[in-house]
A and B are shown apart, each in its own frame.
Chain A
Amino acid sequence: MAGKGILIEGLRKRYGQGDTAVDALKDVNMAVAPGEVVGLIGPSGSGKSTLLKCLGAVIEPSAGRMTLGDEVIYDNGWKTRDLRALRRDRIGFVFQAPYLIPFLDVTDNVALLPMLAGVPNKEARQRALELLQALDVQHRARAMPSLLSGGEQQRVAIARGLVNRPPVILADEPTAPLDSERALAVIRILNDMARRFETAIIVVTHDEKIIPTFRRIYHIRDGVTHDEAGEGRDIELPA
């Protein structure tokens, strides 16, 4: 695992050209260290989704610089040509809905990523089982996703995001469909995993329940990020 998390400097994204051009991102600067979980919040239309897509190597920024671990992946143009491999090996995704593959069981949902990267099936499944154990869903390893509760599905989705040991995980509203107790449980898991695997995690959220748990929060307004300290409140779950 690379040791520098993710560093974003002067990132911009413009849609369209000429009079119809829209600057979705004007000046984004972020630095998330390994093992750190930061919040990214902002009103609708502030550029959160565009930023997430840029960070996830799904769309190309218009300018700026992105460094992942020790590697500059974007500097006014992609430095890494194989974005598909970049997404597979170096970026983890956790979505608002778990989006597990419905025809694969829990283990194979998690093991699929290493398998796609060429890891032998047995080793990939072993790696998946270790993560499922760490996330306390090992007892559902052979179950199909439709048989899992919402919280269990989200934990499996987190395991999938972590399985290739990416330096950064992008979590898009991961607690939106969950009640307070489960939402806080997911944030605690993300914090645990960030520390355990030295992963930088960016959580995009609107969820008032979890915002106080972040030690650092990036606000994004009109395509510009502002860094501020969060409450960093300890997560206490009911017994």
Chain B
Amino acid sequence: MISLAGRDILHAWGKFVFTGIGLGLLIGVTLTMAGVYRGMVDDGRALLDNSGADIWVVQQGTLGPYAEPSSVHDSTWRGIVALPGVWQAGNVTYLTMQVRKDGSDVRAMVVGIAPGEAGAPGWPPYLVAGRHITRSHYEAVADIASGLALGERIQIRRNFYTVVGLTRRMVSSSGDPMVFIPLKDAQAAQFLKDNDAIWQGRQRTEESPAFNRPGVPGLLEAVIASQSSNPYVNAVLVRIRPGHDPEEVAQTIRRWKHLTAYTRVQMEDILVGKLIATSAKQIGMFLAILAVVSAAIVAFIIYTLTLGKIREIAVLKLIGTKNRTIAGMIVQQALGLGLIGFVVGKITATFMAPAFPKYVLLIPQDTVTGLVAILVICVLASGIAIRAALRVDPAEAVGG
């Protein structure tokens, strides 16, 4: 038996191909939306991978440092590094802000990293150009996605930094590129006030009889010094020795240091399950709407194509064609349309993804899921056209 659907598609290939291209663009958007979600999850995982930590120590009772603010004293790491099973510990600060350069600015996550060497917790694990930070102040390493170049001068708050190194795939959970600067600079940047505010603060302290006591020399200077500095960091990143269980070490930190400690698994749950959960739901809604729109389009197109063949269907029924042969023809055409649309959509998504400002990750699993979903949608959408075709009276082919 010849394929009636295949012959019809070949006969009117232009109509099918152009309709398929239109449908394909919609499918391309759907696949890209799925890629945006995957990109967000991958950004979160990249953030955790690239931090080089096994445990994140944060302020007690918080979900910091990524999902909630967290403040830990910068001397805490000394006590942590002495615990059994801990190999390295390093302070880190995170501050998402606009980094200015030559009159423009770029959205970035500024990361303050403690003095050390490449490979220490919090440091970028590798560079694609330049060198790591070697000076205590005013040097920066930037992710290449920030658009910054080696030697470029950037402004973070009041201070200027020179970009000495470039790295890749170092992004925040929301996809913003990272800019690494020395920890002391980052701590200052987090709490730095303008000169007028500093002057007014000092004035208020000097006028306070509690701090400005003639009989206690040095008290006023000590109070002003403590108000002008920031001894806090957002988290302590901990790397454990091989052979130790991260959960056991985290439990020890929680018990003895009165801090909250998260293992890699727990931190991934926070990032994926809490931080990007709302965005995931948002994208899920879009995917559902796009699926419904795709189904409606396929249903409308197949229904219209079927209505255009009512006389032929009546003749086919009159000369003895089985209903299932006619239904099969319509389903095959819907599947053909879906396949054309899927191929166009996949190509579109593949070429469109790199043009997005944030990371879009297209994975084979989503491609397969998308293909199955499209085929299911096409079969379901052809139901209306099949119903119309099966209602055609073979008597319509006979005159009168």
Contact = CB atoms under 8 A, between A and B. Distances in A.
Interface of A: 48-50, 52-53, 56, 58-59, 84-89, 93, 95-96, 99, 101-104, 108, 112-113, 115-117, 121, 144, 160, 172-173, 204
Given A103-B12, A116-B322, A160-B319, 9 more contacts: A53-B400, A85-B320, A86-B320, A88-B319, A89-B320, A96-B399, A99-B315, A113-B319, A115-B2
Contact of A49 (B12, B325, B400): B400
A20 B315 CA distance: 31
Given A85-B320, A102-B11, A112 B2 contact: yes
B11 A144 contact: yes
A217 to B, nearest CB: 19
A31 B4 CA distance: 38
A101 B1 contact: no
Interface of B: 1-2, 4, 7-8, 10-12, 311-312, 315-322, 325, 393-395, 397-400
Given A116-B321, A172-B399, A101 B2 contact: no
Given A95-B399, A172-B399, A103 B319 contact: no
Most chain B beta-carbon contacts within 10 A, residue among A86, A104, A113: A104
B304 to A, nearest CB: 16
A93 B2 contact: no
A58 B318 contact: yes
Contacts of A49: 398-400
Contacts of A103: 4, 7-8, 10-12
Contact of B399 (A52, A101, A121): A52
A169 to B, nearest CB: 12
Contact of A52 (B4, B8, B398): B398
Contacts of A116: 1, 319-322, 325
B398 A172 contact: yes
A99 B320 contact: no
B308 to A, nearest CB: 10
Contacts of B312: 99, 101-102
A121 B7 CA distance: 15
Contacts of B317: 84
A84 B399 contact: no
B1 A108 contact: no
Contacts of B318: 56, 58, 87, 93
A101 B315 contact: yes
A142 B94 CA distance: 74
24 contacts: A48-B400, A49-B399, A50-B400, A52-B398, A58-B318, A58-B394, A58-B398, A93-B318, A93-B397, A95-B315, A95-B397, A99-B311, A99-B312, A99-B315, A102-B11, A103-B10, A108-B2, A112-B2, A113-B319, A115-B2, A116-B321, A117-B320, A121-B1, A160-B319
